[in-house]
């Protein structure tokens, strides 16, 4: 049986058709610039061996609905239409309501809509993707898999902020955490690589992509994480600041005349690696520029690793005992220099780098990068699509998982 997995962004739609049991992917693709003239969609059809084909279609200002129509047409061409049994959707914010995946009903869709104020950029796009898929595949069960759900096991000491209680009780101001699909997937993979049951492991996982977060995973459950009420808190990211002084907003509004909305937008889109380097938010380009001697790029990479090490050390507090650390996401899976700079700041956790293994763990080659007899440090390739497919299938046929 195949599962269609959809990850809808504000102007993009990423999708994959895969087997939840094995992770085998038959069809995948990405629609970009949805809603604009230049909208286009890339389709990758897997073939035997090195075979397969890639096609790019213009979508002419296309919407989610048009992108879905193309997915549907391709499934029919491949004779897979009737073999797709469910659609799994990544939904960014499920608030305190969802601690597990949920079959989408009008009531569940309403609850996802209620979370829009908590994720104004993400949840509306997720809803648009869900509605387009419900129209294109009306007979299939649709399942929402939440990025926040994994963190619903956070203890109160980890999720409460020291703010007036009414903010929490009336407005839901608390830490929710994000990237849960990835943190839980890589924790499971790490246990497999270590040959130990997940239930007995305390792991620090670092998801480092355009957005970045760390998580404390105790026995497969999240007990600490760096992202909070929104995905802006915590580590330095591509264009997001991560932690700043909460007094910054008031100060800047007074001295610069910027509005709260402008300040928040700048903290989300004009900060992070982009601001520190004055160059780009892309870590690969930063590493190249740093190697050429670009001062801003060097500073950006250095601060990124410093704040990441701080974040990982703080997860040790949540865990008490640490059995291993895991790097994942585009940066975690590929940047040997970020991993080296980060581990160099964490010798007190028992971490020490195996330089050759670290240099080899790039371009999808996960593996162990820690020195022998030291705390295990692993590079694990995340696969959020597979995790969503597994969660979707698990909800619909619990005994099959
Ligand atoms: P993601 O959001 O997981 O796709 O990750 C995107 C980030 O990974 C960007 O900052 C990329 O520059 C970074 N990245 C991807 N490949 C490499 C690489 N080979 N070396 C360093 N960073 C990389």
Query: How far, in Å, from the CA of 238 to the mean position of ligand 1?
Result: 10
3-state secondary structure of 202: strand
301 has a pLDDT exceeding 60: yes
Residue 209 Cβ inside 6 Å of ligand 1? The answer reads yes
pLDDT digit string, tens, across residues 6-23: 999 888 999 999 999 999
Annotation marks residue 147 as catalytic: yes
Q: What is the pLDDT of residue 1?
A: 83
337 has a pLDDT exceeding 70: yes
DSSP characters over 125-185: HHHHHHHHHHHH-TTS-EEEEETTGGGGG--HHHH--SS-HHHHHHH--S-----HHHHHH
Residue 124 Cβ inside 6 Å of ligand 1? The answer reads no
pLDDT digit string, tens, across residues 191-243: 999 999 999 999 999 999 999 999 999 999 999 999 999 999 999 999 999 99
Residue 291 Cβ inside 6 Å of ligand 1? The answer reads no
pLDDT digit string, tens, across residues 277-292: 999 999 999 999 999 9
**Rounded mean pLDDT, 45-71:** 86
Q: What is the pLDDT of residue 171?
A: 95
3-state secondary structure of 204: strand
Helix (H) or strand (E) holding 326: strand 324-328
Q: What is the pLDDT of residue 52?
A: 85
Choice from 235, 304, 335, 382 to test ligand 1 binding pocket (greatest atom count within 8 A of CB): 335
Is 207 assigned to a binding site?
Answer: yes
Contact partners, residue 275, CB within 8 Å, separation at least 6: 239, 241
Tokens matching residue 83: 């073999």
Query: How far, in Å, from the CA of 330 to the mean position of ligand 1?
Result: 4
pLDDT digit string, tens, across residues 354-394: 999 999 999 888 999 999 999 999 999 999 999 999 999 99
**Cα 215 from Cα 342, distance rounded (Å):** 16
Choice from 274, 284, 308 to test ligand 1 binding pocket (greatest atom count within 8 A of CB): 284
pLDDT digit string, tens, across residues 303-325: 999 999 999 999 999 999 999 99
Q: Side by side, which strands form the sheet with 202-208?
A: 221-225, 212-218, 202-208, 324-328, 377-379, 367-368
Query: How far, in Å, from the CA of 255 to the mean position of ligand 1?
Result: 36
Look at ligand 1, atom 19, and give the residue with the nearest C-alpha. 334
Q: What is the pLDDT of residue 49?
A: 66
- Name the most confidently modeled range: 34-38, 44-48, 50-54, 244-248: 244-248
Residue 30 Cβ inside 6 Å of ligand 1? The answer reads no
Cα torsion angle, 54, 55, 56, 60, sign? negative
Q: Which of 19, 147, 250, 323 is catalytic?
A: 147
pTM: 0.95
Q: What is the pLDDT of residue 398?
A: 63
Is 209 assigned to a binding site?
Answer: yes
Tokens matching residue 159: 């999720």
Question: In Å, how far from its chain's centre is CA 230?
Answer: 13
Closest CA relative to residue 77, chosen from 27, 29, 118: 27
What separation in angstroms does the CA of 261 have from each of 118, 177, 275?
15, 22, 18
Tell me how far apart the terminal alpha carbons of the chain are, to the nearest angstrom: 13
Q: What is the pLDDT of residue 364?
A: 84
248 CB neighbour count, 10 Å cutoff: 12
Choice from 289, 297, 333, 334 to test ligand 1 binding pocket (greatest atom count within 8 A of CB): 334
346 has a pLDDT exceeding 70: yes
pLDDT digit string, tens, across residues 94-119: 999 999 999 999 999 999 999 999 98
Residue 184 Cβ inside 6 Å of ligand 1? The answer reads no
Residue ranges of domains in the chain, CATH in brackets: 2-146 (3.30.420.40), 196-384 (3.30.420.40)
Q: What is the mean pLDDT of the chain?
A: 95
Residue 335 Cβ inside 6 Å of ligand 1? The answer reads yes
> What share of the chain has pLDDT > 90, as a percent?
92
Residue 270 Cβ inside 6 Å of ligand 1? The answer reads no
50 has a pLDDT exceeding 70: no
Q: What is the pLDDT of residue 401?
A: 46
pLDDT digit string, tens, across residues 119-166: 888 999 999 999 999 999 999 999 999 999 999 999 999 999 999 999
Look at ligand 1, atom 8, and give the residue with the nearest C-alpha. 330
Residue 381 Cβ inside 6 Å of ligand 1? The answer reads no
Query: How far, in Å, from the CA of 339 to the mean position of ligand 1?
Result: 13
Is 332 assigned to a binding site?
Answer: yes
CA-286 nearest atom, ligand 1: 12
Residue 389 Cβ inside 6 Å of ligand 1? The answer reads no
Tally DSSP H helices, then E strands, for the chain: 15, 14
Residue 238 Cβ inside 6 Å of ligand 1? The answer reads yes
Q: What is the pLDDT of residue 365?
A: 87
Is 54 assigned to a binding site?
Answer: no
Q: Tell me 57's DSSP state.
A: E
Q: What is the pLDDT of residue 400?
A: 46
pLDDT digit string, tens, across residues 246-259: 999 999 999 999 99
Is 282 assigned to a binding site?
Answer: yes
3-state secondary structure of 221: strand
Is 240 assigned to a binding site?
Answer: no
């Amino acid at each position: 049986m195949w599962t269609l997995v959809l990850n809808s962004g504000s102007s993009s739609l990423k999708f994959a058709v895969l087997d939840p049991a094995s992770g085998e992917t038959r069809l995948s693709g990405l629609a970009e610039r949805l809603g604009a003239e230049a909208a286009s969609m890339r389709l990758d059809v897997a073939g035997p061996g090195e075979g397969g084909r890639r096609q790019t279609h213009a979508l002419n200002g296309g919407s989610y609905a048009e992108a879905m129509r193309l997915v549907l047409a391709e499934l029919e061409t491949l004779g897979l239409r009737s073999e797709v049994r469910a659609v799994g959707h990544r939904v960014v914010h499920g608030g305190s309501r969802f601690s597990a995946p949920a079959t989408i009903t009008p009531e569940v869709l309403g609850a996802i809509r209620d979370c829009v104020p908590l994720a104004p950029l993400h949840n509306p796009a997720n809803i648009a993707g869900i509605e387009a898929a419900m129209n294109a595949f009306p007979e299939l069960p649709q399942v929402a898999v939440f990025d926040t759900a994994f963190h619903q096991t956070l203890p109160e000491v980890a999720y409460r902020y020291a703010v007036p209680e009414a903010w929490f009780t009336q407005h839901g101001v608390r830490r929710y955490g994000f990237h849960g699909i990835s943190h839980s997937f890589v924790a499971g993979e790490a246990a497999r690589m270590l040959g130990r049951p997940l239930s007995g492991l305390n792991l620090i996982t670092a998801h480092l992509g355009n957005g970045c977060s760390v998580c404390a995973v105790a026995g497969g459950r999240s007990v600490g994480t760096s992202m909070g009420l929104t995905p802006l808190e915590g580590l330095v990211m591509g264009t997001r600041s991560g932690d700043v002084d909460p007094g910054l907003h008031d100060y800047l509004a007074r001295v610069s005349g910027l509005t709260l909305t402008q300040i928040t937008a700048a903290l989300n889109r004009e900060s992070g690696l982009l601001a520190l380097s004055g160059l780009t938010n892309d870590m690969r380009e930063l590493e190249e520029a740093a190697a050429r001697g670009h001062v801003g790029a060097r500073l950006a990479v250095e601060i990124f690793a410093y704040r990441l090490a701080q974040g990982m050390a703080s997860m040790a507090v949540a865990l008490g005992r640490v059995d291993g650390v895991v790097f994942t996401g585009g940066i975690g899976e590929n940047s040997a220099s970020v991993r080296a700079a980060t581990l160099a700041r964490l010798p007190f956790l028992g971490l020490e780098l195996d330089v050759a293994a670290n240099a080899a763990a790039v371009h999808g080659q996960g593996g162990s990068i820690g020195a022998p007899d030291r705390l295990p440090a692993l590079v694990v390739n995340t696969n959020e699509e597979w995790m969503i497919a597994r969660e979707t299938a698990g909800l619909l046929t619990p005994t099959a998982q």
